[in-house]
Amino acid sequence: MTIPTEPIGSIPRSPELLSALTSHAQGALPDSALAELQDRAVAETVRRLEELGSPVVTDGEQAKPSFATYPLAGLKTLDPDGVVIPFADGHQRQLPTLTAGPFRYQTNAETYLRAAQRHATKPVKQAVIAASALSLLYPPAGIQGYPQAQFISDLVDQAEADIRGCLDAGAHVVQLDFTEGRLSLKLDPSGGVLKQFIDLNNQVLDRFTDAERARIGVHTCPGGDQDSTHSLDVDYAGLLPDLFQLRAGTFYLQLASEADPERVLSIAAEQMRPGVRVFVGVTDPIDPSVETPEQVRDRVLAAARHIPVDRLGTCDDCGFSPFADDTSTSRDLAFAKIRARVEGTAMAAEALGV
């Protein structure tokens, strides 16, 4: 036995790929040329992760427009003026609004998984967006002829298909990105919206067997974009009791950027259900300094004082570039942090004798 370690998701895109995305958006680069460059970026990302000794790899989300909106690419029934997500530094991201039904994913995550598998010799994990995030697409005023109940039914079907396609294609694990969980407590401190999100995601998870749910994880963080967050000021104590009600087998918790990680670990230890595994964040994608393997080791050893080592794993706090246009972190810096995570986790495993 050893301590497993996994990436969370996105790796910053190369300048070449960013330039290609701009040219494609302007109509100056055909789809086929962009697809070739994206596949090249996936291959290079997988290669570098494997060279660093990462036991599990991802595509680095090189072909995703963002971690949240990939199912919508090409969907015509959207209005850009949807829910606004404010970040601590003052910048915003905005989701679109659905204008007509039925709601159908235009791109499934299985597409990204299979692209990575073509280049990988290690197990490949795949991140998908949680149904709760996409539930925000439905406008408060409703859609004529397409009631919200029907939208939710369609959404649950689509979210299930997104996960199941990845499981059937051989994903090592499917990770639900649930960054809106912590944000919901900022928007609604009563916790009502959070409970709605948990219930919706469980409607999806309940469609899977216990064996399948063992390969499904949930990632939570306070958001990460342009070196800022949207909900780091929200206390984990309000999130974790509900978070662990999600019927998934694994939980990925942002922790390296927390002011008091020991307190969060103690809460997690109290709330985690029997049989689940908790991966703790040991590298902070927003911090420009690179963690040393020794720092990572010490963070793992601290976590092991709260969480049984046979149910403990490590990860990065968040993706390094969840939105394709986020250039706040360099590609080389991201890989340096990943190297520290892999090496530091191995050092901790040795110290713990596992």
Q: Residues 308-327: what's their mean pLDDT?
A: 95
- Give residue 301's identity as a one-letter amino acid code: L
Supply the DSSP symbol for 269: H
Return the pLDDT at 1.
Answer: 61
Residue 227: exposure state from Cβ atoms within 10 A (0-12, 13-18, ≥19): middle
Return the pLDDT at 200.
Answer: 98
If residue 137 lies in a helix (H) or strand (E), which one and from where to where? none
In b/e form, how buried is each residue of 318-342, taking b as 16+ CB within 10 angstroms?
Answer: bbbbbbbebebbebebbbebbbbbb
Percent of the chain with pLDDT over 90: 95
> Distance between alpha carbon 18 and the CA centroid of its chain, in Å?
21
97-119 tens-digit pLDDT: 999 999 999 999 999 999 999 99
219 beta partners:
177, 252
Return the pLDDT at 255.
Answer: 97
Strands 97-98 and 78-79: antiparallel
Cα 42–Cα 316–Cα 326 angle in degrees, nearest 5: 55
Q: Residues 230-234: what's their mean pLDDT?
A: 94
Return the pLDDT at 324.
Answer: 87
